[in-house]
Each structure stands twice: as structure tokens, then as C-alpha cells.
Amino acid sequence: LAKTTQPISMDSYEGQEVNITCSHNNIATNDYITWYQQFPSQGPRFIIQGYKTKVTNEVASLFIPADRKSSTLSLPRVSLSDTAVYYCLVGDMDNTDKLIFGTGTRLQVFP
Amino acid sequence: ETGVTQSPTHLIKTRGQQVTLRCSSQSGHNTVSWYQQALGQGPQFIFQYYREEENGRGNFPPRFSGLQFPNYSSELNVNALELDDSALYLCASSSDSHAYGYTFGSGTRLTVV
């Protein structure tokens, strides 16, 4: 399974856009990119998933360049409640779909 | 539709004891995975069950075992508990389509003393 690299932590202020980039140089052809959010003492929550180009839902956008060796999770206008750990994962959802988590990015949003 | 529920929410056990954690998967999901999350770390994959059969295992010793039942609920059993087994144990369920990723429960906080 492809290994991912993310920044350990990021700080932001309320109302700002936050972009968290994930590196996955060894991504395989069948791998999807998935992001999860986790609050303390809770299970991770699915945010968004994509294969290429751009995916947008009501929560976030996911930008994936043509070479797919990285991806960027974009959170528009963050609020204090977006303070959490964000995990980027890559994997073949049809075959070896056991999620492999790294240490994630700890996002702290300040007033 | 109901989400993933885990029980108990908190548990304290003594070193050497055995523990059973339970998970009810989300309606319509046939795959259950178990994760161990130590404080400040990402979740670590223990094993996965698909239609009552083990379908992959992480780097955990045999004293970690599991079951999946016909209704797709699942149990995680840990024998001979060690202090390092203290962690948040997460259960996640998914369907064949994986269209919306995995749905996680809130976990069971296990403390081994």
C-alpha cells in the first residue's frame, strides 16, 4: 500500500481557507485517495474521496494533479469546530482495502 | 440508518486478563475492520472480516482474535492483556461499493492496569 506523508500540524484562523497537502509518490494505478477527520476520543469520519482531478462535496474539495503523486484537501472558511486531526490515505478500494493511517495533520483553528 | 455502535465505551482491565469488545456495523455493511489507536498516534489496522471470514490481518499477535456474526456484527477478543494494550479500539464498517469510505464507531477506551 502506498505510504503517505503529511505535515504534522497546521494553524489557521476562523474564516480562512486551509489547504493540507499529502504526498503519495508510490500511488498505484488502482489506488483511491481518501481523507478522514478525527476529533479526540471519536472515530475518524470520512470527508472526501477521489481518484483524479477535483472532487467537491458540501464539506471540502480534493485536488489531485495529473501525476497523482500528491493531493490537497481544501477546507473553505474554517471554524473552531474544524480543529481536528486530518488523515490522508491511499489504497486500492477493490482489493486491499484495509485502511493504513499515518500520524495525520493536526489542524488548530484559532478565533 | 444507524451508524456503527461499539460497546462498552470504557473498560478497565488488569494485566493478564481477557477482554471482549463488541461492534454493530452500519445497516447494509458487510465488512468490519478493527483498529487500535494509541494516544497521539493514527489508528493501526488489526484485522478485517468480510462475510464472517477473516480478510486480512495487521501486525498484531495471535492473542488478538475476532469474530463476525451472520448479522455482520463483530467481536474483538484480546487474551493475556498487557499494559501496552491500553488504547482506543475502533471498529469500522463498509459495504462492497466503498463509495463513501468506512464508517467508524466512537471506539472503546481500554485501560490495562
Round the average pLDDT of chain A to a whole number and report it: 91
Q: Could you tell me the three cell numbers for A78?
A: 474554517
Task: Look at chain B and count its residues.
Answer: 113
Task: Report CB contact under 8 Å: A98, B48.
Answer: yes
Residue A103 has its nearest CB partner, among B42, B88, B98, at B42
Q: Cα separation of B76 and B85, whole Å? A: 13
Q: What DSSP state is assigned to residue B26?
A: P
Helix, coil or strand: residue B99: coil
Task: Report CB contact under 8 Å: B101, A42.
Answer: no
- Per-residue pLDDT of B43-66, as tens digits, reads 999 999 988 999 889 999 999 999
Give the max Cα distance, chain A.
Answer: 43
- Per-residue pLDDT of A11-45, as tens digits, reads 999 999 999 999 999 888 888 899 999 998 899 99
Q: What is the pLDDT of residue B113?
A: 97
Residue A87 has its nearest CB partner, among B42, B100, B106, at B42
- % of chain B with per-residue pLDDT over 90: 76
Task: Report CB contact under 8 Å: B88, A44.
Answer: no
Task: Report CB contact under 8 Å: A44, B90.
Answer: yes
Region of residue A66 (left: phi > 0; alpha: psi -120 to 50; beta: else): alpha
